[in-house]
A and B are shown apart, each in its own frame.
Chain A
């Protein structure tokens, strides 16, 4: 219910200025939690998403995403996904973009080089520090885009599940 209230508030305040949210009625819901598994949360379409409990405790992957984002991404995209003079606000991309498109750009990169822009996203497909935490970064960015998690360090978080720990070790090798 918390999400619903928050969504409404954002939609009302942002009005026509936020094309991504204005269209969200036609798009599948990529925010709401449909089910959880081993400390990870998913939408009805099996897309990873964040979870904030009533007392403000956030899911482990979102917390992990906070850490990894500020190691790998913030030097271009600015603190907490807010964007910078150099690169766009990822917190909006995570909400507005399809999950699989988001993943594709992180893995393969993207170039916008022309008379007006010199913008290049590198391919992170070979980088375990990004790839092993891609879903974590994605759900943290989505939570930031929805303002479900405020700027700054998240205060309370769920414990890291055994499955997440095992998967992390396997992924980092």
Chain B
């Protein structure tokens, strides 16, 4: 660590402008035969131009081969394919397998880190891991205990490793990393443990630290300058401390465990920050900046170009971590570089990603009720702020009061499960939750490394709807409208993928892979895999044939919250247990299933 710290200053001074563009990686990302980073591409489209499997023949899809990961916990993320090698990761203990596609999936190497099992219980909501990333002959794994390792892609040998956080104070990792140019971008989890969130850039060559940007704290910690804006206005001095009481920003939350995106032309990366700690809003007066914020940062320096705080002073645990999807589309007759984001708070945001201007903010689930909408008038004092409905305000109702019927629930109208975008249809395909909650905040005290929650929640399917807990929707981001919506019995917790074959893939918690028509949503194929799906779809070719792969393995927040079924507290005595229990449909087990058309 000493060496790394010493290097930091040198790196910072020598960095400007010399970072070689990683053109090799961009070429590999552009090649649809491979899938080299978790998000498919830097824009987070999760769209493949492969069309061998298409809407006319997807009904004939069949299982080509399978692989058991040997781990039982929740399996998020997806495998990668680089050339003839597939890389498969697992939840804790974070095993990585390299499989030889030219040799019937034979294991080339296996890497299993030694981690202190004490990290397990400080990982709120299961020991998931959202996968590895590839760049420059290295496979990057970010372990549960926050160790980032660069593995030799051919041998699995550790080339370097660096510790990004401290599990003893509740700092853990569940996310993938994003390689950009000569750096790898790394986030952190632990918002329920009073962690102060950050994004850190490490140099791909040797793992030395290039920069770290905290979500809150003094200006030198959050990497802002006089040009950093919020909705077009400079954020000013001390913006990361002046909306907190005293030193509360030090345990402020704002963790960074979502999917990152990158615009090479603007040299900016985009990501969202999580909830402020604790869940009891009365304990942390103020807007709690920059929790719940969309961030645009220069990838070389980490300096923020703009912020947009979606949910000032969170009262419901609506983390802002979900992915930012980058598109070039016409809006109001003008071609613009857009950023589209489906937030936990139930609003679908469309922004200009160059300037940070807010263009659209509309509900992507009609049951969302905590707000009447966002103030879109740039001249208004409350520009960009959501209007909070008093009845559903856990702040206004106060500590020790149970606020009922709030939609969405804390897990959000959508959690990290990533959406897909098809440039062909210009539609976003979004896996969503259709769950509401009662929320009662109360006073808690902070102890390092212990949960710092401070609220009791009861969750139930959205009332007066179809009775299910999820929807899979198609969304028009220029109008802010749902185009069609498919009801699902359980929350849709898998990542979607769209292809040039005019199909969209998603998975369900019961374990179904579903392929639907990208235009109409019509179901074209389904197959029940061995366990519930919370992983993401990917596709690749080998020897000229297209394959689609998905990880099964139920778990995560969904496996915890829905395992026994939800209750409806309004039903009173005797009527509970009427809702579907996930444990009636599926059980633990990590497996990859690979699909192809018959020969």
Chain A residues engaging chain B, CB cutoff 8 angstroms:
56, 66-68, 70-72, 74-76, 78-80, 82-87, 89, 109, 111, 113, 118-122, 124, 126-130, 150-153, 155, 172-173
Contact A86 B573 (CB under 8 A): no
Residues of B546-599 whose CB lies within 8 A of A: 554-555, 559-561, 563-569, 571-574, 576-577, 582, 588
When distances are taken between beta carbons in the complex, the residues of chain A under 8 Å from B124 are 75
The 8 A CB mask of B437-459 against A (1 = contact, 0 = none) is 01010111101001101111111
* In the bound complex, CA of A122 to CA of B572 (Å): 34
Contact B444 A71 (CB under 8 A): yes
* In the bound complex, CA of A29 to CA of B453 (Å): 35
* B351 CB-CB contact with A under 8 Å: no
Q: Which of B438, B442, B561 contacts A71 (CB 8 A)?
A: B442
When distances are taken between beta carbons in the complex, the residues of chain B under 8 Å from A80 are 564, 567
When distances are taken between beta carbons in the complex, the residues of chain A under 8 Å from B576 are 150-152
Q: Which of A70, A86, A130 contacts B457 (CB 8 A)?
A: A70
Instruction: State whether A79 and B555 are in contact (beta carbons under 8 Å apart), knowing that A118-B73, A118-B117 are contacts in the complex.
Output: no
When distances are taken between beta carbons in the complex, the residues of chain A under 8 Å from B93 are 118
Contact B563 A83 (CB under 8 A): yes
Residues of B190-215 whose CB lies within 8 A of A: 192
Contact B568 A152 (CB under 8 A): yes
* In the bound complex, CA of A153 to CA of B457 (Å): 9
Name B557's closest neighbour in chain A (CB-CB).
A75
* In the bound complex, CA of A29 to CA of B419 (Å): 53
* In the bound complex, CA of A78 to CA of B581 (Å): 12
When distances are taken between beta carbons in the complex, the residues of chain A under 8 Å from B125 are 75-76, 86
Contact B126 A85 (CB under 8 A): yes
A28 smallest CB distance to B (angstroms)? 29
17 contacts between A and B (CB under 8 A): A72-B451, A79-B564, A79-B567, A85-B588, A87-B560, A109-B121, A118-B71, A118-B73, A118-B93, A118-B117, A118-B127, A150-B573, A151-B567, A151-B576, A152-B569, A153-B438, A172-B443
Give the residue among B74, B564, B569, B572 with the most A Cβ atoms within 10 A: B564
* In the bound complex, CA of A76 to CA of B125 (Å): 6
Name A132's closest neighbour in chain B (CB-CB).
B445
Contact B571 A152 (CB under 8 A): yes
When distances are taken between beta carbons in the complex, the residues of chain B under 8 Å from A155 are 572-573
B134 smallest CB distance to A (angstroms)? 27
Give the residue among A126, A152, A153 with the most B Cβ atoms within 10 A: A152
* B118 CB-CB contact with A under 8 Å: yes
A26 smallest CB distance to B (angstroms)? 30
When distances are taken between beta carbons in the complex, the residues of chain A under 8 Å from B565 are 82
When distances are taken between beta carbons in the complex, the residues of chain B under 8 Å from A82 are 563-565
Contact A152 B444 (CB under 8 A): no
B371 smallest CB distance to A (angstroms)? 24
When distances are taken between beta carbons in the complex, the residues of chain A under 8 Å from B402 are 153
Taking A68-B456, A85-B559, A152-B571 as known contacts, 9 extra A-B pairs with beta carbons closer than 8 A to each other, sorted by chain A number, are A71-B444, A74-B560, A79-B458, A82-B564, A85-B563, A86-B73, A122-B450, A172-B443, A173-B445
* In the bound complex, CA of A113 to CA of B402 (Å): 38
Residues of B104-152 whose CB lies within 8 A of A: 117-118, 120-122, 124-127
Contact A79 B573 (CB under 8 A): no
When distances are taken between beta carbons in the complex, the residues of chain A under 8 Å from B440 are 67
B115 smallest CB distance to A (angstroms)? 10
* In the bound complex, CA of A80 to CA of B561 (Å): 10
Contact A76 B121 (CB under 8 A): yes
Contact B559 A84 (CB under 8 A): yes
The 8 A CB mask of B450-492 against A (1 = contact, 0 = none) is 1101111111000000000000000000000000000000000
A96 smallest CB distance to B (angstroms)? 18
Total contacts A-B at CB 8 Å: 128
When distances are taken between beta carbons in the complex, the residues of chain B under 8 Å from A56 are 573
B265 smallest CB distance to A (angstroms)? 41
When distances are taken between beta carbons in the complex, the residues of chain B under 8 Å from A74 are 457, 560
* B92 CB-CB contact with A under 8 Å: yes
Contact B458 A127 (CB under 8 A): no
Instruction: State whether A124 and B450 are in contact (beta carbons under 8 Å apart), knowing that A85-B555, A151-B577, A172-B445 are contacts in the complex.
Output: yes
Instruction: State whether A122 and B118 are in contact (beta carbons under 8 Å apart), knowing that A67-B440, A152-B458, A152-B576 are contacts in the complex.
Output: yes
When distances are taken between beta carbons in the complex, the residues of chain B under 8 Å from A151 are 567, 576-577
A144 smallest CB distance to B (angstroms)? 11
When distances are taken between beta carbons in the complex, the residues of chain A under 8 Å from B456 are 66-68, 70-71
Give the residue among B402, B443, B565, B567 with the most A Cβ atoms within 10 A: B567
Name A127's closest neighbour in chain B (CB-CB).
B450
Give the residue among A89, A111, A119, A122 with the most B Cβ atoms within 10 A: A122
B354 smallest CB distance to A (angstroms)? 39
Contact B445 A128 (CB under 8 A): yes
* In the bound complex, CA of A80 to CA of B100 (Å): 46
Contact A75 B560 (CB under 8 A): yes
Name B587's closest neighbour in chain A (CB-CB).
A85
B521 smallest CB distance to A (angstroms)? 29
Q: Which of B192, B555, B567, B571 contacts A86 (CB 8 A)?
A: B555
When distances are taken between beta carbons in the complex, the residues of chain A under 8 Å from B555 are 85-86
Instruction: State whether A129 and B118 are in contact (beta carbons under 8 Å apart), knowing that A67-B456, A85-B559, A152-B571 are contacts in the complex.
Output: no
Contact B92 A118 (CB under 8 A): yes
A83 smallest CB distance to B (angstroms)? 6
Contact A79 B73 (CB under 8 A): no
When distances are taken between beta carbons in the complex, the residues of chain A under 8 Å from B577 are 151
B221 smallest CB distance to A (angstroms)? 28
Instruction: State whether A84 and B563 are in contact (beta carbons under 8 Å apart), knowing that A72-B453, A79-B459, A127-B451 are contacts in the complex.
Output: yes
Give the residue among B122, B447, B582 with the most A Cβ atoms within 10 A: B447
Contact B453 A71 (CB under 8 A): yes
When distances are taken between beta carbons in the complex, the residues of chain A under 8 Å from B571 are 152
Contact A86 B458 (CB under 8 A): no
Q: Which of B118, B566, B568 contacts A120 (CB 8 A)?
A: B118
* In the bound complex, CA of A120 to CA of B402 (Å): 32
Give the residue among A68, A82, A172 with the most B Cβ atoms within 10 A: A82
Contact A78 B454 (CB under 8 A): no
Residues of B77-107 whose CB lies within 8 A of A: 92-93
Instruction: State whether A113 and B117 are in contact (beta carbons under 8 Å apart), knowing that A70-B456, A118-B73 are contacts in the complex.
Output: yes
Residues of B309-328 whose CB lies within 8 A of A: none
